[in-house]
Amino acid sequence: MRKIIVAIDGHSSTGKSTVAKRLAKALGYVFIDTGAMYRAVTLYALQNGFVSEGKLNAQKLTAALPSIELKFKTNTDTGKSEMYLNGKNVEGEIRSMEVSKYVSPVATIKEVREKLVAQQQKMGLEKGIVMDGRDIGTVVFPDAELKIYMTASAEIRAQRRYQELLGRGENVSYDEVLKNVQDRDRIDSTRETSPLKKAEDAIEFDNSELGMEEQFEKILDLARQKIDLQGFQNLEGLKP
Ligand code: DC
């Protein structure tokens, strides 16, 4: 059966990764969380002193880009894909509030985006991939067969993220998380290079109201329709 590319974009904490992960599992596809890649570059910037007094030194980070190697590896115990930065597992560290604070400014840097987008496009060469991010349907795979755009109110998203951080033992307040969500929305949507926006042919899901389960079933249905349609088109192509 021919494989497709599924692009899932949208604001932070809309449940994109959860849906993308489940969808990849159901279809037997590879799942790629591109946010993890931007987060790993941010962690590198923090670890190497490129952030001081709350300011990111974009020039230093750009110069260091050739020394940053990012890889996804599957954890054999959990079956989950995890992020490695220069050979070290950083899956836990990249989800911290500190990384969340600086990841949007890092993601505005053109050279960072060029490096990561090129790597993402390579991952999709053989299709059979579900990728989530901000620019997947618009920049990384403008020809993706299925594009989903997920959104929800900032308050609902902050509440989800707050619970997640508390669950991981981080000492944060709801207000701090809400501010971070709103700040990232603003920076991600207004940056010059590849701002977050809905691709014209993307299907929008607002999950402020819609339950996660219902939403997943709908997206799975859409993916199956696209895959069947592709198979049908291929058969048509074989007709004399
Ligand atoms: O999905 P996430 O919240 O883990 O993403 C972290 C940040 O990375 C987000 O604020 C914007 C940026 N990002 C991006 O600019 N482009 C992507 N394809 C994925 C993430």
Task: Answer yes or no: is the C-beta of 12 below 6 A from any ligand 1 atom.
Answer: yes
Atom of ligand 1 nearest to the CA of 116: 18
User: CA dihedral in degrees (21, 37, 15, 76; nearest 10)?
Assistant: 30
pLDDT of residue 174: 96
Phi, psi for 55 (deg, rounded to 5): -115, 135
Task: Answer yes or no: is the C-beta of 39 below 6 A from any ligand 1 atom.
Answer: yes
Q: Position of tokens 């599992």?
A: 25
pLDDT of residue 240: 59
Q: Position of tokens 């190697």?
A: 69
Task: Answer yes or no: is the C-beta of 104 below 6 A from any ligand 1 atom.
Answer: yes
Q: What structural domains and CATH numbers belong to the chain? A: 5-238 (3.40.50.300)
The pTM score is: 0.91
**Confidence band of 230 (pLDDT split at 50, 70, 90):** confident
Residue 238 reports pLDDT greater than 70 = no
> Token pair for residue 46?
């923090």
Residue 220 reports pLDDT greater than 80 = yes
Atom of ligand 1 nearest to the CA of 34: 19
Nearest CA owner, ligand 1 atom 5 = 35
> Token pair for residue 93?
């560290």
